[in-house]
Amino acid sequence: MNTLSKSRLAWRCRRGMLELDYLLQNFINTQYEILGPADLKAFQHLLETPDALLLEYLMGRTIPVDPVFCDVIQKIRAAVTY
Amino acid sequence: MSIPRKRFDTLVIGAGGGGLRAALQLSQAEANVAVVSKVFPTRSHTVAAQGGINAALANVLPDNWHWHMYDTVKGSDYLGDQDAIEYMCRAASHIVIELEHAGVPFSRLNNGKIYQRAFGGQSQDFGGEQAARTCAAADRTGHAILHTLYQQNIRAKTHFFDEFFAIDLIKDEEGYILGAVILSIETGEPYIIEAKTTLLATGGAGQIFRTNTNARINTGDGMAMALRADIPIQDMEFFQFHPTGIAGKGMLITEGARGEGGFLVNKNGERFMERYATHAKDLASRDVVSRSIAIEVREGRGCGPKGDHVLLKVDHLGADVVAKRLPGIRDTVLTFLHMDPVEKPIPVFPTAHYTMGGIPTNRYGQVVAPLGQGAEEPIPGLYAVGECACVSVHGANRLGGNSLLDIIVFGRAAGNDIIDFLKENRFHRPLDEGSVDQALSRLARWDQRGEGESVDALRQELQQTMEDYCGVFREEKVLQEGVNKVKAMEARLAAVRIQDHSSVFNTQRIEAMELENLFDVALATVTSALARQESRGAHSRVDYPERDDEHWLKHSLFYKKDHRLDFKPVRTKPLSVDSFPPKPRVY
């Protein structure tokens, strides 16, 4: 899988639910430049998850089977500020 | 410049449930259909509809479409068109069975029938006992419907333009809509889609407000395209708010929190709902709680450094109750605020949820406007369905479970009417080059270089202004100031510049055009809200606290040109049953 550009990835962070928009867009806007290639690949892969399941993952209600997702999900959650 | 042109029988703009249901009807009838969507179709906002879809199947409790109709008319505060409401409620059972056959995995009862849950505003026997009318696929009904319809469309060979943004409609001098100019987000290249019929299904416009529950794609694109094509939009003053969204972020904290014993406090720790609703207190109706929160903040009793929210306390309920009865709320607060509601109160503010108004249509999905002969003449070749449309089945307020029903019933109805239109209109009309040029100039405007205001800053200012001056606290002076401010801000649009002028995935340019759309819709909303001097449904005026059927039992129509308002009567005559005349609305 080729790594997509930031703007292309950012557009794929536009989802059908505000909760996902908030988490994913905040992550890419604040963390993209400091992400390593492995994280970037995992993130890109994660974006292919259907919205309802992605919400379960990101809200911590379901643990993904694929362990590479777990790390990037933690980073997405940690990037939320208040 | 030579622009690629493609021809279809029907162009559907928007790939949520309404657009996909119409597209499916058409593709199955072997029409040549294009669906244009700015995001991948299964990421449309329909996925966020968790509650379910209403139909009087009577699987759990006795039910009847006529009782459903009564509830919908009453819920609309008598502003809904009763012919469209009758049509929708009668069609509902058939529509749900059809969805089930298409593959939607509805939750079931032990006897194998579709499970139905009770929801607010549903009654048996015209206002009697609670009904159970909402069919659900667990808590992801919208998601299941959207995915099913998408797969069925793939099977029916609907042509998808994913990640394409619709710039404007193409219209000829006789008023026919001939398709649209669209933009490939990937390449930055414009395309002309010529179509004998065009269906707008672009969803709502929650993004006009700072605090809202909507996906960020909900920028009112279809409504704004209609306005720019000299078509009015209807009843825009009616916007459904939920009293408790996470302050500044919008995510919904459900009523369950207060139902389980949670309550609201201001900066002095005062349980202020006791002052506004002596008996019901924190369980008063949504509009009362929303307005009370707004008043506390306006009068300087808000919390936080900016005093811009109140606090919802559930910490006194104890960890066990919160974990057992409010797990979803706890997850939401932990995720978005990094705090535990078991330990600290939740900052909340009313959050904008659903656009009742939209592009005026009849029950066939045809877009209708006063063109000179009558109040509701069809615009040839143009259709609209779903939250971007106003048919109007929700009137002044929408009932839970009726939005998914609306998109599926009228998506299908529009598909059927388009099939008839195509039989009588077999050829493409000549393309109107002037209209194409106009759409392209909207795109070219963003090639201007240099320093200027930023899209982000102006959008945030617009959203904040709409929240402050056209939110849940509405009165003459505040709304007039809102109109003035939004107009002044709109004038500044010309000075906005984007810094990215590349072609490939230039999302700045898309966001700039979305901002233009937000301005058109925001101005329609605040202007219509100022005009309506009564309180009805979701539109609540402090200075006109009563419903006024004598003067205001009518739909508003806002035109972009001169920001003119017009009105048309409510269709109070149903198709086959007696009218439900306006009565005081008591729950």
- What pLDDT shows up at residue B285? 80
Cβ atoms B333, B341 nearer than 8 A:
yes
DSSP string, B224-291: HHHHHTT--EE-TT-EEEEEEEETTT--B--THHHHTT-EEE-TT---THHHH-TTTGGGS-HHHHHH
**B406 part of a folded domain:** no
Nearest-CB residue to B507 (from A11, A20, A59): A11
Query: Considering the domain boundaries, does residue B476 fall inside one?
Result: yes
pLDDT at B279: 86
Q: Which residue of A has its CA nearest to B304?
A: A82
Q: Alpha carbon B571 to chain centroid distance? A: 21
Residue A50 to residue B39, Cβ atoms within 8 A: no
Chain A residue closest to B141 (CA)?
Answer: A52
Q: Which tokens is B65 given?
A: 């479409």
> Min CA distance, A50 vs chain B (Å)?
8
**Å between B167 CA and nearest CA of chain A:** 17
Flag whether B144 is in a domain.
Answer: no
pLDDT in the model for residue B1: 62
Of B258, B260, B303, which Cα lies nearest the Cα of B277? B258
Are A18 and B48 within 8 A, CB to CB? Answer: yes
May I ask the CATH architecture of the domain A6-78?
Orthogonal Bundle (1.10)
Query: Using alpha carbons only, what angle is made at residue B208 by residues B406 and B529, rounded to the nearest 5 degrees?
Result: 80
* A63 and B CB contact within 8 Å: no
Q: What is the mean pLDDT of residues B513-523?
A: 98
pLDDT, residue B221, reads 98
Residue at B399 is within a domain: no
Dihedrals phi, psi of B355, to nearest 5 degrees = -95, 105
pLDDT for residue A82: 67
Query: Is B497 considered catalytic here?
Result: no
- Residue B510 host element (H or E): helix B507-531
> What is the distance between the terminal CA atoms of chain B, rounded to a whole angstrom?
61
Statement: residue B447 has pLDDT above 80: yes
* Confidence label for B256 from pLDDT (cuts 50, 70 and 90): confident
Q: At which of B299, B316, B351 does a domain end?
A: B351
Check if B351 contacts A (Cβ < 8 Å): no
- List the single residue in A with minimal CA-CA distance to B330: A59
The answer to whether position B25 is within a domain reads no
The crossing angle, in degrees rounded to 10, of helices B82-102 and B402-424 is 90
Map residue B227 onto helix, strand or coil.
Answer: helix
At which residue do the structure tokens 């009838």 appear?
B29
Among candidates A80, A53, A13, A34, which has minimal Cα distance to B140? A53
What pLDDT digit, counting tens, does each position of B60-93 carry?
A: 999 999 999 999 999 999 999 999 999 999 999 9
B334 interfacial to chain A (CB closer than 8 Å) = yes
CA distance A65 to chain B (A): 20
Side-chain half-sphere CA neighbours of B362 within 13 A? 15
What's the rounded Cα separation, in Å, for the pair A25 and B227? 30
- Domain-ending residue, one of B79, B106, B139: B139
Task: Give pLDDT, residue B328.
Answer: 87
User: What digits encode the pLDDT tens for the residues B452-504?
Assistant: 999 999 999 999 999 999 999 999 999 999 999 999 999 999 999 999 999 99
End position of a domain, from candidates B333, B351, B369: B351
Q: Is residue B431 part of a domain?
A: no
Whether B428 is in a domain gets the answer: no
CATH classification of the domain holding B495: 1.20.58.100
- Whether pLDDT at B587 is above 70: no
Count how many pairs of residues, chain A against chain B, have C-beta atoms within 8 Å: 87
Contacts of A61 in chain B (CB under 8 A): 331
* Residue-by-residue pLDDT tens, chain A, 82 positions: 566 789 999 999 999 999 999 999 999 999 999 999 999 999 999 999 999 999 999 999 999 988 889 999 999 999 998 6
Of chain B, the percentage scoring pLDDT greater than 90 comes to 91
Q: Alpha helices of B446-506 — where are they, by DSSP H?
A: 455-470, 476-491
**Most A CBs within 10 Å, among B39, B42, B43, to test the A interface:** B43
Q: What CATH number is given to the structural domain containing B343?
A: 3.90.700.10
Q: What range defines the domain where residue B520 resides?
A: 447-544
* Radius of gyration in angstroms for the set of CA atoms belonging to chain A, rounded to a whole number: 11
Structure tokens at B187: 């390449």
Residue range B160-171, pLDDT digits in tens: 999 999 999 999
Is the bond leading into A5 cis (omega within 30 degrees of zero)?
Answer: no
- The mean predicted confidence, pLDDT, of chain B is 96
Q: Is B404 on the interface with A (CB under 8 A)?
A: no
Supply the pLDDT for residue A2.
Answer: 65
B586 pLDDT exceeds 80? no
Q: Which of B90, B228, B286, B532 is catalytic?
A: B286
| Partner A contacted by B214 (CB < 8 A) | yes
d(CA B333, CA B345): 10
For A61, name the nearest residue in chain B, comparing CA atoms only: B331
Q: Which of A8, A23, A58 sits opposite B505 (nearest CB)?
A: A8
Residue B420 lies in a domain: no
Q: Which of B39, B46, B221, B335 to mutate to test the interface with A (most CBs of A within 10 A)?
A: B335
Residues of A in contact with B39 (CB under 8 A): 11, 14-16
- The CA R_g of chain B, rounded to the nearest whole Å, is 23
